[in-house]
Amino acid sequence: MMTDDKISSHTMAVLVDNEAGVLARVIGLFSGRGYNIDSLAVAEVDGDGQMSRITIVTCGTPMVVEQIKAQLGRLVSVHRVVDLTVEAESVERELALIKVSGNGDNRVEALRLSEAFRARVVDATPASFIFELTGRKEKVDAFIDLMRPIGLQEVSRTGVVAISRGPDPL
């Protein structure tokens, strides 16, 4: 049987029991087996602190991605693993806080571009802005690239979160 060696990016949603060390198990699995983590986001999602959802963006050949999913599923504290890239149509978003400083034309240009990207100003001083931007990773990347020559100071990003489209839960 031939194997496909093409590397592609996959977004996985991992529902885990919210117990001590569970994130270390997931991360340790990736480092121990040599898989990539391009982005990671984790938070409680059920309100009573019982379950967390980990969104991992990873990449690999189809065989490796299948392995990653199976290895995650094998962890005792994992309820469910869904490869949102393969198994569902999904919406992906990332939030970034971006600090830009400067004066004069740069300041005007930053504000103008932020409007074009629908970023919100969440903090301002006479010499700086902090923008809040949500969107797909590519959009966030593009905005940050535009801010770089204008006076980009600092970036903080959440990593990708994703959810499947349509009325049903995973």
> Which one among 36, 37, 79, 106 touches another protein, defined by CB under 8 A?
79
Which part of the chain contacts another protein (CB under 8 A), choosing from 39-47, 64-72, 126-134, 156-164? 64-72
Q: Binding another protein by CB under 8 A: which of 25, 93, 99, 139?
A: 25
HSE, side-chain direction, 13 A CA sphere, residue 97: 7
Rounded Cα distance, 100 and 145, in Å: 12
Q: Binders of another protein among 29-48, rule CB under 8 A? A: 32
Q: Name which of 66 and 87 has its Cβ closer to another protein.
A: 66
17 binds another protein (CB under 8 A): yes
Tell the smallest beta-carbon distance from residue 3 to another protein (Å). Answer: 6
Task: Decide: is 90 part of the binding site for another protein (CB under 8 A).
Answer: no
Question: Is 7 a residue that touches another protein (CB under 8 A)?
Answer: no
Which H/E stretch holds residue 114? Answer: helix 104-116
Secondary element (H or E) of residue 122: strand 120-125
Q: Are 117 and 133 in contact (CB under 8 A)?
A: yes
Element (DSSP H or E) covering residue 8? strand 8-17
Specify whether the CB–CB gap between 147 and 129 falls below 8 A.
no
Q: Nearest approach, Cβ of 53 to another protein (angstroms)?
A: 14
Tell me which of 36, 67, 128, 134 binds another protein, using CB under 8 A: 67
Where do contacts with another protein occur on this chain (CB under 8 A)? 1, 3, 17, 20-21, 24-25, 28, 32, 63, 66-67, 70-71, 73-74, 76-79
